[in-house]
Amino acid sequence: MAKELRKKALAGVELEMRQMLKYVIRRVLYMVPTVFGVILITFALFNMAGGDPALMRLGKQAAADTMEAYDVQRGLNKPLFAGMWGRTRAYEATDFSVNAGSWSKLEGVEYAGRAKGYIVLSKTGEYEADRRLPLNPGEDYQWVVKCRLSNQGNARFLVKEGDTELASVQIPESRSFRTLRIPFVAGASEASLRSLIVIKAGSLDVTDIKIQRRVRHIFDSQFVFYISQILRFDFGVSDETNQRVSKMIKDGILPSLALTAPMFLVGLITAIVVSLICAYMRNTFLDRFFVVFSILLMSINYLVWIILGQYLFAYRLHWFPIWGFESMRFLVLPAIIGVISGLGSNIRFYRTVILDEMYCDYVRTALAKGVSKPSLLFKHVLKNAMIPILTSVVIAIPFLYTGSLLLETFFGIPGLGSMSINAINSSDFDVIRAVVFVGAMIYVVANLLTDICYAAVDPRVKLK
C-alpha cells in the first residue's frame, strides 16, 4: 500500500514537472517578441532619438578621422535598418537649417537664413565641397543634392579626378526642390579628387548636400550590427575607460550585488514581519505607531539619510568607513541606509495587502472555528498575500543588478550604479545602452520566474 502511494506521489510530481517544463518552453517562445521589442526600443533610444552619438561624445571640434573611426567601431556609418548607402565623414554634412557651415567661406555663396534653410549659389563659376577625409579607392560613393535651379539657369554637378570625369550630372531647371543622386567610384589618385558645382548661368538654391558610401548588402545596417553584438555578448568599448563593456559589467556586478542583495533581503523580511505585527495588532497603539513611522520614513529624502549616516556614524562616531570597497565592513553603513530609506513604503504596501486578506470570508470562518490568530496569519493569510508581494519583489529584481546609483556614488563602491552615473556624466553611450538592455532582459526573465512562483505559493494558479 505504501509503495503504491509512493508511486502515485512520484507520478504526480513527474506530471507537474512535465507541465512546468512545457509551460516554461511555451513562455520562452512567447518571450521572443518581447525580447525583440526590448532590442528595438533600446536601439531606437540610443541610435535614433539621441542624435549623433559621435558628435555628442567627441564634440563639434573633433577631427573628421576621429569621428569616422568612432562611427566605424560602432557601426554608425551604416544605414539605420536597411539600405545600400551609409554615411561617411569625408565631406562636411551641413545642416542649413542651423548655418551655412564651410560653404559660407566660399565667394558667391549667400545664406538664406535658418527660416528658409538653404544656401544660394548666385555667381557663375565653380563651387567645391569641403573635403575632410580621403575616400577609399575602388569603393562606390554617391552625392545626394537637394536643390532647385532658377529659370534660364545652367548648372551641373561634377566629380573629377585630375582631368578625368568620374561623374557628371546636369541639374535641371525646377521651381521646387528636387533630389539628385550622383554615383561614382573613387579612383586611386585621391589627392586630385574634386567635387564641384559648376554654375554657368542663373542661380542655384541648395537645401541639402551630403555624400554616402555604398555598403556590402541591403541588410548591412546599424540594427543588424547591434543584434550581432548582442548575440556575441559584445556590448562595445567604453569611451571613458577604453575597456570592453562586457568586462566592466562583469567586474561591477559583484560589488553591486554585495550591497543590494543583503539590503533587499533584510528590508523585505523586516517589512513583512512588521506588517504582520501591524495586522495582528491592528487598531492598537503599536499599529498606529508603525503607520506613522512608515510615513515619516517615506517623507525623508534619500539624500538626507546618506548625508546623515556619513556625517554622524562615519565622520563623527567613526563606526563605519566613509568611502571605498576594501571589505564587507565598507558595505554595512550603505546597506543600513538602503534598508531604512525603503522600509517606509514597503511597510505601507505589505500592511495594506495583508489587511485586505484579513477581511476575506475564509479568515472569519477560520477564526469562528477556533484557529489561533498567529497560526492564521502565518499559515493562511501570508500565503494568500504572496501574489502581490511576489509582484513587488519582481519589480525590484532588475534594480539589484543595476545597483544603487546614489549609495555607490556617495560611498565609492565600484559597482554598476556608480559605473552608470559615470557613463551618464561622460556620455558613454555603449555603457549606458548595455546596462539598460541587460536590466530590461533581467526584468523579462524575472516575470517568467514570477509566474512559476505564483503556482508554487497559490494552488489556485495553474501553469497551463
Q: What is the pLDDT of residues 123-139, one digit of tens each?
A: 889 998 888 888 888 89
Closest by CA to 300, choosing from 345, 357, 260, is 345
Position 101 confidence tier, pLDDT thresholds 50, 70, 90: confident
Report the pLDDT value the prediction gives residue 406, as an integer from 0 to 100. 82
In angstroms, rounded to a whole number, what is the distance separating the alpha carbons of residues 214 and 88?
A: 10
In angstroms, rounded to a whole number, what is the distance separating the alpha carbons of residues 219 and 34?
A: 22
Position 278 confidence tier, pLDDT thresholds 50, 70, 90: confident
Question: Where do the domains of the chain lie, and which CATH numbers do they carry?
Answer: 85-214 (2.60.120.260), 245-457 (1.10.3720.10)
Report the pLDDT value the prediction gives residue 12, as an integer from 0 to 100. 60
Q: What is the pLDDT of residues 62-75, one digit of tens each?
A: 888 888 988 998 89
Percent of the chain with pLDDT over 70: 92
Cβ pair 129, 106 in contact under 8 A: no
**Alpha-carbon distance values, 243 to 251, 322, 426, 430 (Å):** 11, 28, 15, 11
Is 277 a residue whose pLDDT tops 80? Answer: yes
What is the pLDDT of the chain when averaged over all its residues?
Answer: 84
Closest by CA to 182, choosing from 269, 267, 85, is 85
Report the pLDDT value the prediction gives residue 218, as an integer from 0 to 100. 92
Is 6 a residue whose pLDDT tops 80? Answer: no
81-98: average pLDDT = 87
Position 16 confidence tier, pLDDT thresholds 50, 70, 90: low
Q: What is the pLDDT of residues 201-225, one digit of tens each?
A: 989 999 999 999 999 999 999 999 9
